[in-house]
Structure 1
Amino acid sequence: MKNILKDQRGSILPMFAVVVTLVIMLAAVAVDFARYALVSEKLQTAGDSAATAAAMSAKRYVKLLINPGEELSICCGDDGCSTCCIGCGGPFEVIGREDDLLDSEGYKRYCCGCGCPTPELLDRWVEYENNGAEARAAAQMFFDLNKPREMDSAAGGDSYISSLRLTNDRSDPVYPSVVVKTQGKMKTVMMNFMDRMYPDTNLSELGASRCSQGGSFYYDLNGKWHRAAAEGCN
Protein backbone atom coordinates (compact mmCIF):
# COMPACT_ATOMS: atom_id res chain seq x y z
CA MET A 1 0.00 0.00 0.00
CA LYS A 2 2.80 2.43 0.89
CA ASN A 3 4.50 1.67 -2.40
CA ILE A 4 1.31 2.49 -4.30
CA LEU A 5 1.00 5.88 -2.55
CA LYS A 6 4.62 6.66 -3.27
CA ASP A 7 4.10 5.80 -6.91
CA GLN A 8 1.03 8.08 -7.07
CA ARG A 9 2.89 10.97 -5.46
CA GLY A 10 5.76 10.42 -7.81
CA SER A 11 3.47 10.60 -10.85
CA ILE A 12 1.52 13.62 -9.60
CA LEU A 13 4.59 15.84 -9.23
CA PRO A 14 5.62 15.69 -12.91
CA MET A 15 2.01 16.26 -13.96
CA PHE A 16 1.77 19.23 -11.63
CA ALA A 17 4.97 20.65 -13.06
CA VAL A 18 3.59 20.27 -16.59
CA VAL A 19 0.33 21.98 -15.64
CA VAL A 20 2.17 24.88 -13.97
CA THR A 21 4.40 25.27 -17.01
CA LEU A 22 1.39 25.35 -19.33
CA VAL A 23 -0.36 27.94 -17.16
CA ILE A 24 2.75 30.14 -17.16
CA MET A 25 3.09 29.78 -20.93
CA LEU A 26 -0.54 30.71 -21.50
CA ALA A 27 -0.22 33.70 -19.17
CA ALA A 28 2.92 34.80 -20.98
CA VAL A 29 1.19 34.58 -24.35
CA ALA A 30 -1.85 36.47 -23.04
CA VAL A 31 0.23 39.27 -21.52
CA ASP A 32 2.50 39.78 -24.52
CA PHE A 33 -0.27 39.59 -27.10
CA ALA A 34 -2.30 42.10 -25.10
CA ARG A 35 0.72 44.42 -25.22
CA TYR A 36 1.12 43.64 -28.91
CA ALA A 37 -2.48 44.63 -29.68
CA LEU A 38 -2.07 47.91 -27.78
CA VAL A 39 1.28 48.77 -29.36
CA SER A 40 -0.03 47.89 -32.84
CA GLU A 41 -2.82 50.42 -32.37
CA LYS A 42 -0.24 53.01 -31.36
CA LEU A 43 1.66 52.22 -34.56
CA GLN A 44 -1.59 52.71 -36.51
CA THR A 45 -2.11 56.08 -34.83
CA ALA A 46 1.43 57.16 -35.71
CA GLY A 47 0.84 56.14 -39.33
CA ASP A 48 -2.50 57.97 -39.42
CA SER A 49 -0.91 61.18 -38.13
CA ALA A 50 1.90 60.88 -40.69
CA ALA A 51 -0.52 60.36 -43.59
CA THR A 52 -2.75 63.25 -42.49
CA ALA A 53 0.19 65.63 -42.05
CA ALA A 54 1.55 64.72 -45.47
CA ALA A 55 -1.85 65.19 -47.12
CA MET A 56 -2.35 68.58 -45.49
CA SER A 57 0.94 69.80 -46.93
CA ALA A 58 -0.58 69.77 -50.44
CA LYS A 59 -0.99 73.14 -52.11
CA ARG A 60 -4.09 74.11 -54.08
CA TYR A 61 -3.53 75.28 -57.64
CA VAL A 62 -5.83 77.06 -60.10
CA LYS A 63 -5.92 77.92 -63.78
CA LEU A 64 -7.44 81.35 -64.44
CA LEU A 65 -8.54 83.14 -67.57
CA ILE A 66 -7.52 86.75 -66.96
CA ASN A 67 -8.79 89.70 -68.94
CA PRO A 68 -6.11 92.37 -68.38
CA GLY A 69 -8.71 95.12 -68.71
CA GLU A 70 -7.60 98.58 -69.74
CA GLU A 71 -4.53 100.72 -69.31
CA LEU A 72 -4.28 104.41 -68.52
CA SER A 73 -3.55 106.59 -71.51
CA ILE A 74 -4.08 110.09 -72.94
CA CYS A 75 -7.00 110.59 -75.27
CA CYS A 76 -7.32 113.72 -77.37
CA GLY A 77 -10.36 115.20 -79.09
CA ASP A 78 -11.89 118.46 -80.19
CA ASP A 79 -12.06 119.62 -76.59
CA GLY A 80 -8.43 118.81 -75.88
CA CYS A 81 -6.64 115.90 -74.22
CA SER A 82 -7.40 114.04 -71.01
CA THR A 83 -6.58 110.81 -69.32
CA CYS A 84 -8.57 107.78 -70.39
CA CYS A 85 -8.52 103.98 -70.25
CA ILE A 86 -7.98 101.91 -73.36
CA GLY A 87 -7.82 98.18 -73.95
CA CYS A 88 -4.43 96.55 -73.33
CA GLY A 89 -4.80 93.13 -74.86
CA GLY A 90 -6.92 90.01 -74.97
CA PRO A 91 -7.49 87.44 -72.21
CA PHE A 92 -4.82 84.86 -71.32
CA GLU A 93 -4.42 81.90 -68.99
CA VAL A 94 -2.39 81.92 -65.77
CA ILE A 95 -1.59 78.95 -63.52
CA GLY A 96 -0.53 79.40 -59.91
CA ARG A 97 -1.33 78.73 -56.28
CA GLU A 98 -4.85 79.53 -55.19
CA ASP A 99 -3.76 81.26 -51.99
CA ASP A 100 -1.71 83.68 -54.08
CA LEU A 101 -3.84 84.29 -57.16
CA LEU A 102 -7.31 84.28 -55.55
CA ASP A 103 -7.09 84.52 -51.76
CA SER A 104 -4.51 87.33 -51.91
CA GLU A 105 -5.87 88.70 -55.22
CA GLY A 106 -2.51 88.11 -56.86
CA TYR A 107 -4.24 88.01 -60.25
CA LYS A 108 -4.27 91.82 -60.13
CA ARG A 109 -0.56 91.75 -60.94
CA TYR A 110 -1.61 90.84 -64.47
CA CYS A 111 -4.09 93.70 -64.76
CA CYS A 112 -3.41 96.93 -66.60
CA GLY A 113 -3.47 100.33 -64.92
CA CYS A 114 -7.25 100.83 -65.02
CA GLY A 115 -7.90 97.47 -63.38
CA CYS A 116 -9.53 94.31 -64.65
CA PRO A 117 -12.57 92.17 -63.90
CA THR A 118 -12.52 89.12 -61.66
CA PRO A 119 -10.87 86.28 -63.62
CA GLU A 120 -12.70 83.17 -64.75
CA LEU A 121 -11.79 79.97 -62.91
CA LEU A 122 -10.97 77.28 -65.46
CA ASP A 123 -9.55 74.52 -63.27
CA ARG A 124 -8.56 73.68 -59.71
CA TRP A 125 -6.41 70.87 -58.25
CA VAL A 126 -3.81 70.11 -55.58
CA GLU A 127 -0.10 69.40 -55.89
CA TYR A 128 2.55 67.98 -53.59
CA GLU A 129 5.32 70.44 -54.35
CA ASN A 130 9.03 69.69 -54.85
CA ASN A 131 8.25 66.10 -55.77
CA GLY A 132 6.57 65.60 -52.39
CA ALA A 133 9.59 66.66 -50.31
CA GLU A 134 7.48 68.75 -47.91
CA ALA A 135 4.91 65.98 -47.58
CA ARG A 136 7.58 63.40 -46.76
CA ALA A 137 9.20 65.67 -44.18
CA ALA A 138 5.83 66.32 -42.51
CA ALA A 139 5.00 62.60 -42.47
CA GLN A 140 8.34 61.70 -40.88
CA MET A 141 8.06 64.43 -38.24
CA PHE A 142 4.56 63.43 -37.13
CA PHE A 143 5.43 59.73 -37.20
CA ASP A 144 8.44 60.34 -34.94
CA LEU A 145 6.26 62.34 -32.54
CA ASN A 146 3.60 59.64 -32.27
CA LYS A 147 5.41 56.33 -32.73
CA PRO A 148 5.06 53.86 -29.82
CA ARG A 149 7.76 54.05 -27.16
CA GLU A 150 7.60 50.27 -26.87
CA MET A 151 9.06 50.19 -30.39
CA ASP A 152 11.90 52.60 -29.66
CA SER A 153 15.46 51.35 -29.94
CA ALA A 154 15.90 52.10 -26.24
CA ALA A 155 13.22 49.49 -25.53
CA GLY A 156 14.83 47.00 -27.87
CA GLY A 157 12.34 47.63 -30.65
CA ASP A 158 12.15 49.50 -33.92
CA SER A 159 9.55 51.32 -36.05
CA TYR A 160 9.72 53.23 -39.30
CA ILE A 161 7.81 54.36 -42.41
CA SER A 162 8.38 51.57 -44.90
CA SER A 163 6.75 53.37 -47.84
CA LEU A 164 4.98 56.63 -48.67
CA ARG A 165 2.91 56.93 -51.83
CA LEU A 166 1.74 60.24 -53.20
CA THR A 167 1.07 61.41 -56.72
CA ASN A 168 0.30 64.54 -58.71
CA ASP A 169 -1.24 62.41 -61.44
CA ARG A 170 -4.92 63.32 -61.43
CA SER A 171 -5.82 60.11 -63.25
CA ASP A 172 -4.41 58.00 -60.42
CA PRO A 173 -7.30 56.53 -58.36
CA VAL A 174 -5.62 57.41 -55.04
CA TYR A 175 -5.23 61.09 -56.02
CA PRO A 176 -5.46 63.32 -54.05
CA SER A 177 -4.23 61.42 -51.01
CA VAL A 178 -1.12 60.07 -49.31
CA VAL A 179 -0.73 56.39 -48.41
CA VAL A 180 1.74 55.63 -45.61
CA LYS A 181 2.83 52.11 -44.67
CA THR A 182 4.63 51.51 -41.39
CA GLN A 183 6.45 48.63 -39.77
CA GLY A 184 7.65 48.00 -36.26
CA LYS A 185 8.75 45.40 -33.77
CA MET A 186 8.63 45.17 -29.98
CA LYS A 187 10.44 43.03 -27.44
CA THR A 188 8.30 40.53 -25.59
CA VAL A 189 8.30 40.58 -21.79
CA MET A 190 6.91 37.21 -20.74
CA MET A 191 7.56 35.09 -23.82
CA ASN A 192 11.32 35.55 -23.68
CA PHE A 193 11.73 32.49 -21.50
CA MET A 194 10.01 30.37 -24.15
CA ASP A 195 12.51 31.66 -26.68
CA ARG A 196 15.32 30.59 -24.37
CA MET A 197 13.79 27.15 -23.91
CA TYR A 198 13.04 26.76 -27.61
CA PRO A 199 15.47 28.99 -29.56
CA ASP A 200 13.91 28.24 -32.93
CA THR A 201 10.53 29.72 -31.93
CA ASN A 202 11.86 33.31 -32.24
CA LEU A 203 9.43 34.66 -29.64
CA SER A 204 11.73 37.35 -28.24
CA GLU A 205 10.02 39.97 -30.41
CA LEU A 206 6.77 40.55 -32.25
CA GLY A 207 6.42 42.52 -35.47
CA ALA A 208 3.54 44.59 -36.87
CA SER A 209 2.79 46.43 -40.11
CA ARG A 210 0.07 48.98 -40.69
CA CYS A 211 -1.29 51.15 -43.53
CA SER A 212 -2.81 54.64 -43.32
CA GLN A 213 -4.29 57.04 -45.85
CA GLY A 214 -4.74 60.80 -45.59
CA GLY A 215 -6.83 62.78 -48.06
CA SER A 216 -6.27 66.24 -49.54
CA PHE A 217 -9.56 67.96 -50.31
CA TYR A 218 -10.50 70.95 -52.45
CA TYR A 219 -13.56 72.46 -54.10
CA ASP A 220 -14.24 71.63 -57.72
CA LEU A 221 -15.42 74.20 -60.27
CA ASN A 222 -19.00 73.81 -59.05
CA GLY A 223 -18.06 74.66 -55.48
CA LYS A 224 -18.44 71.09 -54.25
CA TRP A 225 -15.83 68.97 -52.50
CA HIS A 226 -13.74 66.89 -54.86
CA ARG A 227 -14.50 63.18 -54.74
CA ALA A 228 -12.68 61.17 -52.10
CA ALA A 229 -9.68 59.18 -53.29
CA ALA A 230 -9.98 55.44 -53.81
CA GLU A 231 -8.90 53.10 -51.02
CA GLY A 232 -5.11 52.88 -51.04
CA CYS A 233 -4.62 50.36 -48.25
CA ASN A 234 -6.04 47.27 -49.92
Structure 2
Amino acid sequence: MPLPDPVVRPEEVLLAAEAIQATTDDGYVLLRTLNLAMSILPNEESAVNDFAVALFRACGYTGRGRVVRTRKDIPLLICGENRHAKTDVCILDDSEILLLVQEDKCHLDDSDPEPQLIAEAIAAFASNNRMRERTLGQPPLQSKVIPCITLKDTSPTFYKIPVTTDLVTAVQRGVHPQQETVVYVHVPALPRPARRWSEGMTPLDNKRIILSCYEAFKQFVN
Protein backbone atom coordinates (compact mmCIF):
# COMPACT_ATOMS: atom_id res chain seq x y z
CA MET A 1 0.00 0.00 0.00
CA PRO A 2 1.51 3.36 -1.02
CA LEU A 3 2.23 5.98 1.58
CA PRO A 4 0.03 9.10 1.68
CA ASP A 5 1.43 12.46 0.65
CA PRO A 6 3.18 14.22 3.52
CA VAL A 7 1.23 16.92 5.32
CA VAL A 8 3.32 19.56 7.07
CA ARG A 9 2.90 23.27 7.73
CA PRO A 10 4.54 25.23 6.32
CA GLU A 11 5.01 23.22 3.12
CA GLU A 12 8.34 24.94 2.42
CA VAL A 13 9.86 22.49 4.90
CA LEU A 14 9.63 19.83 2.18
CA LEU A 15 11.78 21.89 -0.19
CA ALA A 16 14.31 23.50 2.15
CA ALA A 17 17.31 21.59 3.46
CA GLU A 18 18.58 24.32 5.79
CA ALA A 19 16.85 26.71 8.17
CA ILE A 20 18.41 29.71 6.43
CA GLN A 21 16.37 28.83 3.33
CA ALA A 22 13.05 29.17 5.15
CA THR A 23 10.85 32.18 4.41
CA THR A 24 8.52 31.76 7.41
CA ASP A 25 9.19 31.74 11.14
CA ASP A 26 7.50 28.35 11.59
CA GLY A 27 9.57 26.85 8.79
CA TYR A 28 12.77 28.25 10.26
CA VAL A 29 12.00 26.92 13.75
CA LEU A 30 11.25 23.39 12.52
CA LEU A 31 14.31 23.19 10.25
CA ARG A 32 16.60 24.73 12.85
CA THR A 33 15.36 22.31 15.51
CA LEU A 34 15.89 19.44 13.05
CA ASN A 35 19.49 20.54 12.55
CA LEU A 36 20.03 20.78 16.31
CA ALA A 37 18.60 17.29 16.82
CA MET A 38 21.14 15.94 14.34
CA SER A 39 24.04 17.63 16.17
CA ILE A 40 24.41 15.62 19.37
CA LEU A 41 27.34 16.33 21.65
CA PRO A 42 28.79 13.55 23.85
CA ASN A 43 27.40 13.40 27.40
CA GLU A 44 24.82 16.09 26.65
CA GLU A 45 21.05 15.90 26.36
CA SER A 46 20.04 16.22 22.74
CA ALA A 47 17.45 18.45 21.05
CA VAL A 48 15.50 15.40 19.86
CA ASN A 49 12.59 16.02 22.23
CA ASP A 50 12.39 19.65 21.13
CA PHE A 51 12.34 18.51 17.52
CA ALA A 52 9.57 15.98 18.19
CA VAL A 53 7.40 18.69 19.77
CA ALA A 54 7.90 21.03 16.80
CA LEU A 55 7.31 18.22 14.30
CA PHE A 56 4.05 17.03 15.87
CA ARG A 57 2.69 20.56 15.75
CA ALA A 58 3.77 21.05 12.14
CA CYS A 59 2.27 17.71 11.07
CA GLY A 60 -1.10 18.32 12.71
CA TYR A 61 -0.81 15.76 15.50
CA THR A 62 -1.79 18.41 18.03
CA GLY A 63 -4.37 21.18 18.12
CA ARG A 64 -7.67 21.79 19.86
CA GLY A 65 -8.28 18.84 22.18
CA ARG A 66 -4.73 17.48 21.92
CA VAL A 67 -1.47 18.73 23.38
CA VAL A 68 2.12 17.54 23.42
CA ARG A 69 4.08 17.14 26.65
CA THR A 70 7.65 16.28 27.53
CA ARG A 71 9.02 14.37 30.52
CA LYS A 72 5.64 13.22 31.79
CA ASP A 73 5.72 10.78 34.72
CA ILE A 74 3.26 7.89 34.53
CA PRO A 75 2.74 5.78 37.69
CA LEU A 76 3.42 2.08 37.18
CA LEU A 77 3.08 -0.77 39.69
CA ILE A 78 5.83 -3.34 39.07
CA CYS A 79 6.14 -6.50 41.19
CA GLY A 80 4.10 -4.84 43.93
CA GLU A 81 6.28 -1.72 44.03
CA ASN A 82 5.17 1.74 42.96
CA ARG A 83 7.42 3.02 40.19
CA HIS A 84 7.19 5.62 37.43
CA ALA A 85 7.70 5.46 33.69
CA LYS A 86 8.96 8.78 32.34
CA THR A 87 8.13 9.58 28.74
CA ASP A 88 10.39 11.75 26.63
CA VAL A 89 7.42 13.09 24.65
CA CYS A 90 3.74 12.18 24.63
CA ILE A 91 0.52 13.40 23.07
CA LEU A 92 -2.59 13.44 25.21
CA ASP A 93 -6.16 14.66 25.12
CA ASP A 94 -8.40 15.56 28.05
CA SER A 95 -8.63 11.99 29.31
CA GLU A 96 -6.01 9.75 27.66
CA ILE A 97 -2.37 9.41 26.73
CA LEU A 98 -2.55 8.82 22.98
CA LEU A 99 1.05 8.50 21.74
CA LEU A 100 4.44 7.89 23.33
CA VAL A 101 7.91 8.84 22.09
CA GLN A 102 11.19 7.53 23.47
CA GLU A 103 14.54 8.87 22.33
CA ASP A 104 17.32 6.40 21.59
CA LYS A 105 19.94 7.69 24.04
CA CYS A 106 22.72 5.29 23.11
CA HIS A 107 25.08 8.30 22.85
CA LEU A 108 24.69 8.70 26.63
CA ASP A 109 24.46 5.22 28.12
CA ASP A 110 24.18 2.52 25.40
CA SER A 111 20.62 1.82 26.54
CA ASP A 112 17.97 0.13 24.40
CA PRO A 113 14.89 2.34 24.01
CA GLU A 114 12.46 -0.51 23.29
CA PRO A 115 12.08 -1.99 26.82
CA GLN A 116 11.55 1.54 28.17
CA LEU A 117 8.97 2.21 25.46
CA ILE A 118 7.04 -0.98 26.22
CA ALA A 119 7.03 -0.15 29.94
CA GLU A 120 5.66 3.30 29.09
CA ALA A 121 2.93 1.76 26.92
CA ILE A 122 1.85 -0.52 29.78
CA ALA A 123 1.89 2.41 32.20
CA ALA A 124 -0.11 4.59 29.78
CA PHE A 125 -2.76 1.90 29.30
CA ALA A 126 -3.13 1.44 33.06
CA SER A 127 -3.25 5.21 33.61
CA ASN A 128 -5.89 5.65 30.91
CA ASN A 129 -8.04 2.95 32.51
CA ARG A 130 -7.76 4.59 35.93
CA MET A 131 -8.98 7.82 34.36
CA ARG A 132 -11.89 6.01 32.72
CA GLU A 133 -13.00 4.40 35.98
CA ARG A 134 -12.32 7.09 38.58
CA THR A 135 -13.02 10.29 36.64
CA LEU A 136 -15.19 9.43 33.66
CA GLY A 137 -17.24 6.66 35.29
CA GLN A 138 -16.63 4.36 32.34
CA PRO A 139 -15.63 0.68 32.36
CA PRO A 140 -11.95 -0.04 31.77
CA LEU A 141 -10.79 -1.18 28.36
CA GLN A 142 -9.71 -4.81 28.20
CA SER A 143 -7.12 -4.07 25.54
CA LYS A 144 -5.78 -1.31 23.34
CA VAL A 145 -2.98 -0.86 20.83
CA ILE A 146 -0.73 1.97 22.00
CA PRO A 147 1.05 3.82 19.15
CA CYS A 148 4.67 4.64 19.94
CA ILE A 149 7.78 6.01 18.27
CA THR A 150 11.48 5.76 19.01
CA LEU A 151 13.75 8.49 17.67
CA LYS A 152 17.45 8.10 16.88
CA ASP A 153 18.31 11.72 16.20
CA THR A 154 15.55 12.49 13.65
CA SER A 155 15.12 8.93 12.33
CA PRO A 156 11.89 7.36 13.62
CA THR A 157 10.83 3.77 14.15
CA PHE A 158 7.08 3.30 14.51
CA TYR A 159 5.47 0.80 16.90
CA LYS A 160 2.03 -0.57 17.63
CA ILE A 161 2.15 -2.12 21.11
CA PRO A 162 -0.93 -4.13 22.17
CA VAL A 163 -1.56 -3.91 25.91
CA THR A 164 -4.19 -5.89 27.84
CA THR A 165 -5.48 -5.86 31.39
CA ASP A 166 -3.95 -9.33 31.80
CA LEU A 167 -0.53 -7.97 30.82
CA VAL A 168 -0.88 -5.07 33.27
CA THR A 169 -1.84 -7.50 36.06
CA ALA A 170 1.13 -9.75 35.25
CA VAL A 171 3.53 -6.79 35.49
CA GLN A 172 1.94 -5.63 38.75
CA ARG A 173 2.29 -9.08 40.31
CA GLY A 174 5.67 -9.88 38.80
CA VAL A 175 4.51 -13.02 37.01
CA HIS A 176 4.96 -14.22 33.45
CA PRO A 177 1.96 -13.26 31.27
CA GLN A 178 0.01 -16.20 29.90
CA GLN A 179 -0.40 -14.68 26.45
CA GLU A 180 2.47 -13.62 24.21
CA THR A 181 2.57 -9.94 23.27
CA VAL A 182 3.42 -9.29 19.61
CA VAL A 183 4.72 -5.78 18.90
CA TYR A 184 4.42 -4.45 15.36
CA VAL A 185 7.33 -2.35 14.11
CA HIS A 186 7.80 -0.23 10.98
CA VAL A 187 11.15 1.17 9.90
CA PRO A 188 10.78 3.67 7.04
CA ALA A 189 12.25 2.43 3.76
CA LEU A 190 14.82 5.08 2.87
CA PRO A 191 16.95 5.38 -0.29
CA ARG A 192 20.24 4.85 1.59
CA PRO A 193 19.48 2.43 4.45
CA ALA A 194 23.09 2.20 5.62
CA ARG A 195 23.08 5.96 6.25
CA ARG A 196 19.68 6.04 7.96
CA TRP A 197 21.03 7.26 11.31
CA SER A 198 23.67 9.65 10.01
CA GLU A 199 21.34 11.31 7.49
CA GLY A 200 18.04 11.28 9.37
CA MET A 201 15.56 13.77 7.92
CA THR A 202 18.24 16.10 6.57
CA PRO A 203 18.14 14.99 2.89
CA LEU A 204 14.98 16.09 1.10
CA ASP A 205 14.17 12.58 -0.17
CA ASN A 206 14.45 11.10 3.33
CA LYS A 207 12.37 13.94 4.75
CA ARG A 208 9.50 13.39 2.32
CA ILE A 209 9.36 9.63 2.99
CA ILE A 210 9.53 10.01 6.78
CA LEU A 211 6.88 12.74 6.81
CA SER A 212 4.66 10.46 4.72
CA CYS A 213 5.13 7.78 7.39
CA TYR A 214 4.10 10.25 10.09
CA GLU A 215 0.99 11.08 8.06
CA ALA A 216 0.11 7.38 7.70
CA PHE A 217 0.68 6.80 11.43
CA LYS A 218 -1.90 9.42 12.44
CA GLN A 219 -4.74 6.94 11.97
CA PHE A 220 -3.53 4.94 14.99
CA VAL A 221 -3.41 7.93 17.35
CA ASN A 222 -6.88 7.80 18.88
TM-score by length of 2: 0.26
Instruction: Tell me the TM-score normalized by structure 1.
Output: 0.25
| Greater share of residues in strand | 1
